[in-house]
Structure 1
Amino acid sequence: MVEDWQHFLLPYQQAVNELKVKLRGMRKQYQDQAQHSPIEFVTGRVKPVDSIKEKMVRRHVAEDRLEQDMQDIAGVRIMCQFVEDIYEVVDLLRERSDINILEERDYISNVKPSGYRSYHIVVEYPVQLITGEKKILAEIQIRTLAMNFWATIEHSLNYKYQGAFPSDLSARLKSAAEAAFKLDNEMSEIREEIQEAQNLFSYSKNSDWSQQNSTQENQQENKQ
Protein backbone atom coordinates (compact mmCIF):
# COMPACT_ATOMS: atom_id res chain seq x y z
CA MET A 1 0.00 0.00 0.00
CA VAL A 2 1.00 3.62 -0.52
CA GLU A 3 1.66 4.70 3.04
CA ASP A 4 3.03 8.16 2.33
CA TRP A 5 1.14 9.82 -0.52
CA GLN A 6 3.10 13.06 -0.22
CA HIS A 7 6.35 11.17 -0.81
CA PHE A 8 4.79 9.13 -3.63
CA LEU A 9 3.48 12.20 -5.46
CA LEU A 10 6.60 14.36 -5.06
CA PRO A 11 8.23 13.20 -8.36
CA TYR A 12 4.93 13.83 -10.16
CA GLN A 13 4.82 17.40 -8.85
CA GLN A 14 8.42 17.88 -9.96
CA ALA A 15 7.54 16.61 -13.44
CA VAL A 16 4.57 18.99 -13.69
CA ASN A 17 6.65 21.96 -12.52
CA GLU A 18 9.47 21.23 -14.96
CA LEU A 19 7.15 20.67 -17.93
CA LYS A 20 5.32 23.93 -17.23
CA VAL A 21 8.60 25.86 -17.16
CA LYS A 22 9.79 24.27 -20.41
CA LEU A 23 6.50 24.77 -22.27
CA ARG A 24 6.21 28.37 -21.10
CA GLY A 25 9.80 28.82 -22.24
CA MET A 26 8.75 27.73 -25.73
CA ARG A 27 6.09 30.43 -25.72
CA LYS A 28 8.67 33.02 -24.66
CA GLN A 29 10.90 32.03 -27.57
CA TYR A 30 8.12 32.77 -30.06
CA GLN A 31 7.43 36.10 -28.39
CA ASP A 32 11.13 36.99 -28.40
CA GLN A 33 11.16 36.49 -32.16
CA ALA A 34 7.93 38.49 -32.57
CA GLN A 35 6.16 35.40 -33.93
CA HIS A 36 2.70 34.05 -33.19
CA SER A 37 2.98 31.51 -30.42
CA PRO A 38 0.85 28.38 -30.82
CA ILE A 39 0.91 28.17 -27.01
CA GLU A 40 -1.42 30.68 -25.35
CA PHE A 41 -0.83 29.53 -21.77
CA VAL A 42 0.06 26.43 -19.77
CA THR A 43 -1.40 24.98 -16.57
CA GLY A 44 -0.66 21.80 -14.65
CA ARG A 45 -1.70 19.77 -11.65
CA VAL A 46 -1.08 16.55 -9.78
CA LYS A 47 -4.23 14.47 -9.38
CA PRO A 48 -5.59 14.67 -5.80
CA VAL A 49 -5.28 11.52 -3.71
CA ASP A 50 -9.07 11.05 -3.46
CA SER A 51 -9.34 11.20 -7.27
CA ILE A 52 -6.52 8.67 -7.63
CA LYS A 53 -8.22 6.25 -5.25
CA GLU A 54 -11.58 6.67 -6.97
CA LYS A 55 -10.06 6.01 -10.38
CA MET A 56 -8.19 2.97 -9.07
CA VAL A 57 -11.54 1.46 -8.07
CA ARG A 58 -13.36 2.54 -11.23
CA ARG A 59 -10.62 1.34 -13.61
CA HIS A 60 -9.58 -1.68 -11.51
CA VAL A 61 -6.00 -0.43 -11.17
CA ALA A 62 -3.95 -2.47 -8.72
CA GLU A 63 -1.86 -0.43 -6.31
CA ASP A 64 1.35 -2.17 -7.34
CA ARG A 65 0.59 -1.15 -10.95
CA LEU A 66 -0.35 2.44 -10.18
CA GLU A 67 2.77 4.04 -11.65
CA GLN A 68 2.48 2.02 -14.87
CA ASP A 69 -1.30 1.97 -15.43
CA MET A 70 -2.48 5.43 -14.36
CA GLN A 71 -1.21 7.84 -16.98
CA ASP A 72 -2.67 11.12 -15.75
CA ILE A 73 -1.45 11.47 -12.17
CA ALA A 74 0.73 14.25 -13.56
CA GLY A 75 -1.30 16.43 -15.91
CA VAL A 76 -0.34 19.42 -18.02
CA ARG A 77 -2.75 21.42 -20.16
CA ILE A 78 -1.73 23.62 -23.08
CA MET A 79 -4.23 26.22 -24.29
CA CYS A 80 -4.16 27.44 -27.89
CA GLN A 81 -5.97 30.19 -29.76
CA PHE A 82 -6.63 28.21 -32.94
CA VAL A 83 -7.25 24.57 -33.82
CA GLU A 84 -4.26 24.71 -36.19
CA ASP A 85 -2.07 25.70 -33.24
CA ILE A 86 -2.90 22.42 -31.51
CA TYR A 87 -1.30 20.36 -34.25
CA GLU A 88 1.68 22.71 -34.36
CA VAL A 89 2.22 22.12 -30.64
CA VAL A 90 1.93 18.36 -31.20
CA ASP A 91 4.68 18.57 -33.83
CA LEU A 92 6.86 20.60 -31.44
CA LEU A 93 6.44 17.98 -28.71
CA ARG A 94 7.31 15.18 -31.12
CA GLU A 95 10.62 16.90 -31.85
CA ARG A 96 11.69 17.21 -28.22
CA SER A 97 14.41 14.90 -26.93
CA ASP A 98 13.55 15.34 -23.24
CA ILE A 99 10.19 13.57 -23.44
CA ASN A 100 9.25 10.18 -24.84
CA ILE A 101 5.79 10.08 -26.41
CA LEU A 102 4.05 6.81 -25.62
CA GLU A 103 0.54 7.44 -26.91
CA GLU A 104 -1.49 10.04 -28.80
CA ARG A 105 -5.27 10.37 -28.80
CA ASP A 106 -6.86 12.87 -31.19
CA TYR A 107 -10.31 13.70 -29.86
CA ILE A 108 -10.57 16.62 -32.28
CA SER A 109 -10.64 14.61 -35.48
CA ASN A 110 -12.31 11.76 -33.56
CA VAL A 111 -14.70 13.65 -31.30
CA LYS A 112 -16.16 11.73 -28.35
CA PRO A 113 -19.91 10.98 -28.39
CA SER A 114 -20.40 13.56 -25.62
CA GLY A 115 -18.95 16.29 -27.85
CA TYR A 116 -15.61 16.41 -26.01
CA ARG A 117 -12.68 17.64 -28.08
CA SER A 118 -9.03 17.76 -27.10
CA TYR A 119 -5.67 16.27 -28.10
CA HIS A 120 -4.11 13.98 -25.49
CA ILE A 121 -0.49 12.90 -25.41
CA VAL A 122 0.90 10.46 -22.85
CA VAL A 123 4.59 11.02 -22.29
CA GLU A 124 7.37 9.48 -20.26
CA TYR A 125 9.39 12.24 -18.60
CA PRO A 126 12.59 11.71 -16.57
CA VAL A 127 12.97 13.60 -13.29
CA GLN A 128 16.24 13.75 -11.41
CA LEU A 129 15.89 12.78 -7.74
CA ILE A 130 18.57 12.50 -5.08
CA THR A 131 18.14 8.73 -5.43
CA GLY A 132 18.66 8.89 -9.20
CA GLU A 133 16.55 9.26 -12.31
CA LYS A 134 12.88 8.31 -12.21
CA LYS A 135 10.69 8.17 -15.32
CA ILE A 136 7.24 9.62 -14.74
CA LEU A 137 4.14 9.15 -16.88
CA ALA A 138 2.33 12.39 -17.61
CA GLU A 139 -0.64 13.35 -19.74
CA ILE A 140 -0.50 16.52 -21.82
CA GLN A 141 -3.85 17.86 -23.01
CA ILE A 142 -3.86 20.39 -25.84
CA ARG A 143 -7.03 22.30 -26.65
CA THR A 144 -8.43 25.66 -27.69
CA LEU A 145 -9.90 28.10 -25.20
CA ALA A 146 -13.40 27.26 -26.46
CA MET A 147 -12.80 23.53 -26.07
CA ASN A 148 -11.46 24.10 -22.57
CA PHE A 149 -14.50 26.17 -21.54
CA TRP A 150 -16.85 23.39 -22.64
CA ALA A 151 -14.74 20.64 -21.04
CA THR A 152 -14.55 22.51 -17.72
CA ILE A 153 -18.34 22.90 -17.58
CA GLU A 154 -18.92 19.27 -18.61
CA HIS A 155 -16.46 18.10 -15.94
CA SER A 156 -18.29 20.05 -13.24
CA LEU A 157 -21.67 18.64 -14.31
CA ASN A 158 -20.19 15.16 -14.39
CA TYR A 159 -19.46 15.42 -10.66
CA LYS A 160 -23.05 16.49 -10.02
CA TYR A 161 -24.64 13.69 -12.04
CA GLN A 162 -21.88 11.07 -11.62
CA GLY A 163 -21.76 10.60 -15.38
CA ALA A 164 -25.48 9.80 -15.66
CA PHE A 165 -26.63 12.97 -17.43
CA PRO A 166 -30.34 13.49 -18.13
CA SER A 167 -30.95 12.96 -21.85
CA ASP A 168 -32.01 16.57 -22.46
CA LEU A 169 -28.88 17.87 -20.73
CA SER A 170 -26.64 15.54 -22.75
CA ALA A 171 -28.24 16.81 -25.95
CA ARG A 172 -27.74 20.43 -24.93
CA LEU A 173 -24.12 19.80 -23.95
CA LYS A 174 -23.43 18.16 -27.31
CA SER A 175 -25.08 21.09 -29.07
CA ALA A 176 -22.92 23.49 -27.05
CA ALA A 177 -19.81 21.52 -28.01
CA GLU A 178 -20.70 21.88 -31.69
CA ALA A 179 -21.27 25.60 -31.20
CA ALA A 180 -17.85 25.93 -29.52
CA PHE A 181 -16.20 24.08 -32.40
CA LYS A 182 -18.03 26.27 -34.90
CA LEU A 183 -16.58 29.28 -33.07
CA ASP A 184 -13.10 27.76 -33.37
CA ASN A 185 -13.61 27.26 -37.10
CA GLU A 186 -14.86 30.83 -37.55
CA MET A 187 -11.80 32.16 -35.72
CA SER A 188 -9.56 30.07 -37.98
CA GLU A 189 -11.23 31.64 -41.03
CA ILE A 190 -10.21 35.12 -39.88
CA ARG A 191 -6.95 34.04 -38.29
CA GLU A 192 -4.77 36.42 -40.30
CA GLU A 193 -6.93 39.43 -39.36
CA ILE A 194 -6.84 38.43 -35.68
CA GLN A 195 -3.07 37.97 -35.62
CA GLU A 196 -2.48 41.27 -37.39
CA ALA A 197 -4.65 43.06 -34.84
CA GLN A 198 -2.89 41.30 -31.96
CA ASN A 199 0.52 42.29 -33.33
CA LEU A 200 -0.56 45.94 -33.56
CA PHE A 201 -1.94 45.82 -30.03
CA SER A 202 1.20 44.15 -28.71
CA TYR A 203 3.42 46.76 -30.40
CA SER A 204 1.31 49.60 -28.98
CA LYS A 205 1.36 48.09 -25.48
CA ASN A 206 5.12 47.57 -25.60
CA SER A 207 5.64 51.15 -26.83
CA ASP A 208 3.51 52.52 -24.00
CA TRP A 209 5.48 50.39 -21.54
CA SER A 210 8.79 51.62 -22.93
CA GLN A 211 7.62 55.23 -22.76
CA GLN A 212 6.47 54.74 -19.17
CA ASN A 213 9.80 53.20 -18.21
CA SER A 214 11.66 56.08 -19.91
CA THR A 215 9.61 58.65 -18.00
CA GLN A 216 10.27 56.89 -14.70
CA GLU A 217 14.01 56.72 -15.45
CA ASN A 218 14.08 60.46 -16.24
CA GLN A 219 12.27 61.24 -13.00
CA GLN A 220 14.78 59.19 -11.05
CA GLU A 221 17.69 61.02 -12.76
CA ASN A 222 16.18 64.43 -11.93
CA LYS A 223 15.95 63.46 -8.29
CA GLN A 224 19.65 62.59 -8.11
Structure 2
Amino acid sequence: MNKNIEILIGPTANGKAADAQKLFENYREYAEMEHLYNAAIRQLTIKFEILNDEFKVKYERSPIHHIESRVKTAASIVNKLLSRGAEVTPASARENINDIAGVRVVCCYIDDVYSVADMLLRQSDIRLLREQDYIREPNYNGYRSLHLDIELPIYLSERTEMVKAEVQLRTVAMDFWASLEHDLRYKSDKAIPPGLGAQMLSCANEIAAIDRQMQEIYKQIQAI
Protein backbone atom coordinates (compact mmCIF):
# COMPACT_ATOMS: atom_id res chain seq x y z
CA MET A 1 0.00 0.00 0.00
CA ASN A 2 1.15 3.54 -0.71
CA LYS A 3 2.64 4.86 2.56
CA ASN A 4 0.89 8.21 2.24
CA ILE A 5 -2.46 6.44 1.94
CA GLU A 6 -1.62 4.22 4.90
CA ILE A 7 -0.84 7.25 7.04
CA LEU A 8 -4.06 8.94 5.93
CA ILE A 9 -6.45 6.07 6.64
CA GLY A 10 -4.77 4.75 9.79
CA PRO A 11 -5.87 1.38 11.22
CA THR A 12 -8.88 -0.26 9.56
CA ALA A 13 -11.38 -2.88 10.63
CA ASN A 14 -10.72 -6.60 10.60
CA GLY A 15 -7.10 -6.23 9.50
CA LYS A 16 -8.19 -5.47 5.91
CA ALA A 17 -6.13 -2.32 5.49
CA ALA A 18 -5.25 -3.23 1.91
CA ASP A 19 -8.91 -2.93 0.92
CA ALA A 20 -8.82 0.71 1.92
CA GLN A 21 -6.62 1.56 -1.03
CA LYS A 22 -9.69 1.12 -3.26
CA LEU A 23 -11.11 4.28 -1.73
CA PHE A 24 -8.18 6.23 -3.14
CA GLU A 25 -7.61 4.51 -6.49
CA ASN A 26 -9.29 7.49 -8.09
CA TYR A 27 -8.13 10.21 -5.73
CA ARG A 28 -9.97 12.93 -7.64
CA GLU A 29 -13.26 11.09 -7.09
CA TYR A 30 -12.54 10.84 -3.36
CA ALA A 31 -11.57 14.53 -3.19
CA GLU A 32 -14.80 15.50 -4.97
CA MET A 33 -16.79 13.38 -2.52
CA GLU A 34 -15.09 15.02 0.45
CA HIS A 35 -15.80 18.45 -1.04
CA LEU A 36 -19.51 17.59 -1.36
CA TYR A 37 -19.79 16.56 2.28
CA ASN A 38 -17.91 19.62 3.48
CA ALA A 39 -20.30 21.73 1.40
CA ALA A 40 -23.26 19.93 2.96
CA ILE A 41 -22.25 20.70 6.54
CA ARG A 42 -21.53 24.31 5.62
CA GLN A 43 -24.93 24.66 4.00
CA LEU A 44 -26.73 23.02 6.92
CA THR A 45 -24.85 25.14 9.43
CA ILE A 46 -25.89 28.29 7.58
CA LYS A 47 -29.50 27.09 7.51
CA PHE A 48 -29.52 26.63 11.29
CA GLU A 49 -27.78 29.96 11.89
CA ILE A 50 -30.40 31.75 9.78
CA LEU A 51 -33.23 30.05 11.69
CA ASN A 52 -31.62 30.95 15.00
CA ASP A 53 -31.17 34.58 13.92
CA GLU A 54 -34.81 34.74 12.85
CA PHE A 55 -35.85 33.52 16.30
CA LYS A 56 -33.75 36.26 17.89
CA VAL A 57 -35.54 38.90 15.82
CA LYS A 58 -39.08 37.53 16.27
CA TYR A 59 -38.97 36.16 19.82
CA GLU A 60 -35.89 37.78 21.39
CA ARG A 61 -34.34 34.43 22.27
CA SER A 62 -32.14 31.79 20.68
CA PRO A 63 -33.39 28.20 20.57
CA ILE A 64 -29.93 26.97 19.50
CA HIS A 65 -27.14 26.96 22.07
CA HIS A 66 -24.39 25.92 19.66
CA ILE A 67 -23.72 23.95 16.47
CA GLU A 68 -21.01 21.36 15.82
CA SER A 69 -20.12 19.59 12.59
CA ARG A 70 -17.72 17.07 11.16
CA VAL A 71 -17.01 14.98 8.07
CA LYS A 72 -16.02 11.37 8.75
CA THR A 73 -12.35 10.63 8.30
CA ALA A 74 -11.19 8.30 5.55
CA ALA A 75 -10.33 5.67 8.18
CA SER A 76 -13.83 5.86 9.67
CA ILE A 77 -15.44 5.55 6.23
CA VAL A 78 -13.32 2.51 5.38
CA ASN A 79 -14.06 0.85 8.73
CA LYS A 80 -17.80 1.31 8.30
CA LEU A 81 -17.82 -0.04 4.75
CA LEU A 82 -15.76 -3.07 5.73
CA SER A 83 -17.97 -3.77 8.76
CA ARG A 84 -21.00 -3.82 6.44
CA GLY A 85 -19.31 -5.96 3.82
CA ALA A 86 -19.68 -3.14 1.29
CA GLU A 87 -17.30 -2.26 -1.52
CA VAL A 88 -14.66 0.27 -0.52
CA THR A 89 -15.14 3.00 -3.12
CA PRO A 90 -16.37 6.61 -3.00
CA ALA A 91 -19.58 5.59 -4.81
CA SER A 92 -20.21 2.82 -2.28
CA ALA A 93 -19.57 5.21 0.60
CA ARG A 94 -22.14 7.67 -0.74
CA GLU A 95 -24.68 4.89 -1.23
CA ASN A 96 -24.21 2.97 2.02
CA ILE A 97 -23.33 5.57 4.66
CA ASN A 98 -25.78 8.30 5.65
CA ASP A 99 -23.66 10.07 8.25
CA ILE A 100 -20.42 10.91 6.43
CA ALA A 101 -21.51 14.52 6.94
CA GLY A 102 -22.77 15.17 10.45
CA VAL A 103 -24.20 18.28 12.09
CA ARG A 104 -25.08 18.40 15.78
CA VAL A 105 -27.46 21.12 16.94
CA VAL A 106 -27.50 21.65 20.70
CA CYS A 107 -30.65 23.43 21.84
CA CYS A 108 -31.65 25.05 25.10
CA TYR A 109 -34.87 23.17 25.80
CA ILE A 110 -36.61 19.97 24.71
CA ASP A 111 -39.34 21.89 22.86
CA ASP A 112 -36.62 23.75 20.96
CA VAL A 113 -35.28 20.46 19.60
CA TYR A 114 -38.58 19.67 17.92
CA SER A 115 -39.20 23.27 16.82
CA VAL A 116 -35.81 23.52 15.12
CA ALA A 117 -36.21 20.08 13.51
CA ASP A 118 -39.64 21.04 12.19
CA MET A 119 -38.34 24.32 10.76
CA LEU A 120 -35.57 22.47 8.94
CA LEU A 121 -37.83 19.77 7.53
CA ARG A 122 -40.32 22.33 6.22
CA GLN A 123 -37.67 23.68 3.86
CA SER A 124 -38.41 22.57 0.32
CA ASP A 125 -34.86 21.44 -0.48
CA ILE A 126 -34.58 19.09 2.51
CA ARG A 127 -35.69 15.47 2.07
CA LEU A 128 -36.10 13.32 5.17
CA LEU A 129 -34.72 9.79 4.72
CA ARG A 130 -35.09 8.47 8.28
CA GLU A 131 -35.94 9.76 11.74
CA GLN A 132 -34.84 8.15 15.01
CA ASP A 133 -36.27 9.76 18.14
CA TYR A 134 -34.15 8.74 21.11
CA ILE A 135 -35.75 11.48 23.23
CA ARG A 136 -39.21 9.94 23.31
CA GLU A 137 -37.70 6.44 23.21
CA PRO A 138 -34.23 6.59 24.82
CA ASN A 139 -31.54 4.10 23.87
CA TYR A 140 -30.85 1.20 26.25
CA ASN A 141 -27.98 3.09 27.89
CA GLY A 142 -29.96 6.29 28.45
CA TYR A 143 -28.79 8.13 25.34
CA ARG A 144 -31.22 10.82 24.20
CA SER A 145 -31.15 12.74 20.94
CA LEU A 146 -33.23 13.28 17.80
CA HIS A 147 -31.51 11.90 14.69
CA LEU A 148 -32.53 12.97 11.21
CA ASP A 149 -30.99 11.36 8.14
CA ILE A 150 -31.62 13.85 5.36
CA GLU A 151 -30.64 14.61 1.79
CA LEU A 152 -30.06 18.10 0.40
CA PRO A 153 -28.91 19.55 -2.93
CA ILE A 154 -25.41 20.93 -3.36
CA TYR A 155 -25.27 23.34 -6.29
CA LEU A 156 -22.00 23.10 -8.21
CA SER A 157 -20.78 25.01 -11.25
CA GLU A 158 -22.12 22.52 -13.79
CA ARG A 159 -24.47 20.20 -11.89
CA THR A 160 -26.47 19.64 -8.73
CA GLU A 161 -25.61 16.75 -6.41
CA MET A 162 -27.94 15.31 -3.78
CA VAL A 163 -25.90 14.66 -0.64
CA LYS A 164 -26.86 12.73 2.50
CA ALA A 165 -26.19 14.03 5.99
CA GLU A 166 -27.11 13.19 9.56
CA VAL A 167 -28.46 15.90 11.84
CA GLN A 168 -28.47 15.26 15.58
CA LEU A 169 -30.56 17.58 17.74
CA ARG A 170 -30.38 17.48 21.53
CA THR A 171 -30.52 19.73 24.57
CA VAL A 172 -27.54 21.06 26.51
CA ALA A 173 -28.33 18.53 29.25
CA MET A 174 -28.48 15.63 26.79
CA ASP A 175 -25.22 16.76 25.23
CA PHE A 176 -23.54 16.94 28.64
CA TRP A 177 -24.45 13.32 29.41
CA ALA A 178 -23.66 12.03 25.91
CA SER A 179 -20.22 13.66 25.88
CA LEU A 180 -19.21 12.15 29.22
CA GLU A 181 -20.74 8.76 28.40
CA HIS A 182 -18.81 8.65 25.13
CA ASP A 183 -15.60 9.54 26.96
CA LEU A 184 -16.16 6.80 29.55
CA ARG A 185 -17.37 4.07 27.21
CA TYR A 186 -15.43 4.54 23.99
CA LYS A 187 -12.19 6.20 25.03
CA SER A 188 -11.41 3.61 27.67
CA ASP A 189 -9.81 0.28 26.80
CA LYS A 190 -11.60 -1.36 29.72
CA ALA A 191 -15.05 -2.92 29.66
CA ILE A 192 -17.57 -1.13 31.87
CA PRO A 193 -18.96 -3.46 34.57
CA PRO A 194 -22.77 -3.90 34.58
CA GLY A 195 -23.06 -2.10 37.91
CA LEU A 196 -21.39 1.03 36.58
CA GLY A 197 -23.49 0.83 33.42
CA ALA A 198 -26.59 0.89 35.63
CA GLN A 199 -25.24 3.95 37.44
CA MET A 200 -24.68 5.71 34.12
CA LEU A 201 -28.26 4.92 33.09
CA SER A 202 -29.49 6.29 36.40
CA CYS A 203 -27.52 9.49 35.79
CA ALA A 204 -29.07 9.78 32.32
CA ASN A 205 -32.56 9.47 33.78
CA GLU A 206 -31.86 12.04 36.50
CA ILE A 207 -30.46 14.50 33.95
CA ALA A 208 -33.52 13.92 31.75
CA ALA A 209 -35.79 14.70 34.71
CA ILE A 210 -33.91 17.95 35.33
CA ASP A 211 -34.17 18.75 31.61
CA ARG A 212 -37.95 18.39 31.75
CA GLN A 213 -38.11 20.43 34.95
CA MET A 214 -36.13 23.28 33.40
CA GLN A 215 -38.49 23.20 30.42
CA GLU A 216 -41.48 23.61 32.76
CA ILE A 217 -39.80 26.43 34.68
CA TYR A 218 -39.15 28.23 31.40
CA LYS A 219 -42.81 27.85 30.38
CA GLN A 220 -43.99 29.22 33.72
CA ILE A 221 -41.70 32.24 33.44
CA GLN A 222 -42.95 32.90 29.91
CA ALA A 223 -46.53 32.81 31.17
CA ILE A 224 -45.96 35.53 33.78
TM-score by length of 2: 0.80
User: Deviation per CA, 1:93-137, whole angstroms, max 9, x where unpaired?
Assistant: 221112111111101111110110000001101111234111110
> Does residue 55 of the first structure (1) align with residue 80 of the second (2)?
yes
CA 1:25–1:85 in 2, change beyond 3 Å: closer, same or farther?
same
> Does residue 22 of the first structure (1) align with residue 22 of the second (2)?
no
CA 1:48–1:111 in 2, change beyond 3 Å: closer, same or farther?
same
CA 1:163–1:92 in 2, change beyond 3 Å: closer, same or farther?
farther
Structure having the higher Rg: 1
Q: Gaps spanning 5+ residues in structure 2: where?
A: 1-21
- The answer for the alignment partner of 1:177 in structure 2 is 204
For 2:185 and 2:74, the matched residues in 1 are separated by: 19
For 1:140 and 1:163, the matched residues in 2 are separated by: 30
Residues 44-123 of structure 1: pairs in structure 2 closer than 5 A: 44-63=69-88, 64-123=91-150
CA 1:117–1:163 in 2, change beyond 3 Å: closer, same or farther?
farther
Q: What is the total number of aligned residue pairs between the two structures?
A: 197
CA 1:195–1:96 in 2, change beyond 3 Å: closer, same or farther?
same
Identity score, percent: 35
C-alpha RMSD of matched pairs (Å) = 2.2
CA 1:83–1:135 in 2, change beyond 3 Å: closer, same or farther?
same
For 1:103 and 1:113, the matched residues in 2 are separated by: 20
Alignment check: 8 A CA contact 1:27 1:40 kept: no
CA 1:112–1:41 in 2, change beyond 3 Å: closer, same or farther?
same
Alignment equivalent of 2:156, drawn from 113, 129, 132: 129
TM-score by length of 1: 0.80
Alignment equivalent of 1:157, drawn from 184, 204, 213: 184
CA 1:16–1:54 in 2, change beyond 3 Å: closer, same or farther?
same
For 2:145 and 2:190, the matched residues in 1 are separated by: 19
